[in-house]
Copies of this chain bind each other. A is one copy, B any other.
């Protein structure tokens, strides 16, 4: 039953409900001597927190993190790092109607089936709010990985049917638009799409893409804890993710072997690959090329239009969801994906030693 931990050596445990008093994470196994402070963690939380654009929930959470243990004189001590974020702006009344109703696309029904009891306020444990704890923990992983020279780049590849083609990538623009797209031009188009969805009381999904640079070859533990296997688990553990792929991903299914195979070459006196269809992973182990992954994110389940559903008494009801919801969760999930990648890579990197 204990599903709230991930990782073996670098192990993250999250806790907390959307409308409880706080949420948090315990990061155990972080190496000692890593420089870490709340400001660094906050910089990651700020990429996830609401209120960054007109498209995010109106719930105002500053998501201030407190470090309760594991850091001494500005450095990690090797003991568990306890991180806490207090919940502040809670509208309990928004959820009174949902006590006995199962919202489509949400985990209300399955939690009821599994546990027989649930904190229905804001989705409780199944709320996207839990991912703030992941981001805080991911920042700790990132602080460690930076000491190893490993860098992450994560962005919105698509929103609905608006996809930025690789040929139009302007990586510097990722931080210039509130949708975290690698193109301000496409971000503008995507904004229009989201506005359209809002107007029709609807929501849209999209695709997140991530790259990890300067990851040495040799990371990943065959045959079950392969790099892609552990990343796959980490990514699918994010609420709205319905698909994950590495390198060419699903496109590989239609390719010939001669197209997909990456030729090994000698470059700068080292072994490299001429292409990277594999996305940086061969046999479940990093190959020294950039790691490339994509996540398919479903449209936000909470929509403002009436929906047909049932309640706990097995009666059909019409549902009108109140509350404050993002019409597109993709931009705020970018840093969540990055955090899960960092946590996973930190763990497998430490396993390698």
Whether the Cβ atoms of B104 and A351 lie closer than 8 Å is no
Q: Check A100 for interface membership: any CB of B closer than 8 A.
A: no
Q: How far is the CB of A129 from chain B (nearest CB, A)?
A: 11
Do B232 and A244 touch (CB < 8 A)? yes
Known A-B contacts A105-B282, A223-B3, A244-B232; the reply to A298 vs B352 at CB < 8 A is no
* 4 nearest A-B pairs in the assembled complex, by CB-CB distance: A107-B283, A3-B221, A2-B29, A243-B245
Interface pick from A166-174, A178-186, A306-314: A306-314
Q: Are B223 and A130 in contact (CB-based, < 8 A)?
A: yes
Oligomer: number of copies? 4
A61 proximal to B (CB < 8 A) = no
| A331 contacts partner chain B, Cβ-Cβ < 8 Å | no
Among A46-54, A69-77, A90-98, the stretch in contact with B:
A69-77
Q: Does A338 contact B (CB under 8 A)?
A: no
In the complex, A59 has a CB within 8 A of chain B: no
Chain B residue nearest to A347 in the complex (CB): B2
A173 to chain B, nearest CB (A): 21
CA distance A235 to B92 in the complex (A): 40
CA distance A241 to B227 in the complex (A): 12
Give Cα distance in the complex from A17 to B223, angstroms: 12
Min CB gap A194→B, angstroms: 11
Interface pick from A36-44, A147-155, A258-266:
A258-266
> Is the CB of A80 closer than 8 A to any CB of chain B?
yes
B3 touches A287 (CB 8 A): no
* A203 x B271 contact (CB < 8 A): no
